[in-house]
């Protein structure tokens, strides 16, 4: 939640590619997380736009 704390916003413009580079993991691994979080009702995600 560090990004949320800094931006004071519920909208983030982060691509899966950028997140994978920041974390040093494969893009395919990052693509699983938004799906899981979206299904749980925690976020909405569409093409680099994440809303919590």
> Is this prediction's pTM over 0.85?
no
**Helix (H) and strand (E) counts in the chain:** 3, 3
Length of the chain: 52
pLDDT in tens, 3-51: 677 777 788 888 888 888 988 999 888 888 888 989 999 989 888 888 8
What confidence score (pLDDT) does residue 35 get? 87
3-state SS of the chain: helix, strand, coil percent to 5? 50, 15, 30
What confidence score (pLDDT) does residue 7 get? 74
Residue ranges per domain, the chain? Answer: 2-51
Class of domain 2-51: mainly alpha
- Across-strand partners of 11? 51
User: How would residue 1 be classed by pLDDT, with cut points 50, 70 and 90?
Assistant: low
């Amino acid at each position: 939640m560090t990004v949320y704390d800094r931006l004071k916003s519920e909208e983030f413009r982060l691509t899966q590619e950028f997140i994978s580079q920041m974390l040093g993991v494969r893009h395919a691994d990052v693509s699983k997380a938004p799906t899981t979080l979206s299904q749980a009702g925690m976020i909405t995600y569409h093409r680099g736009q994440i809303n919590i």
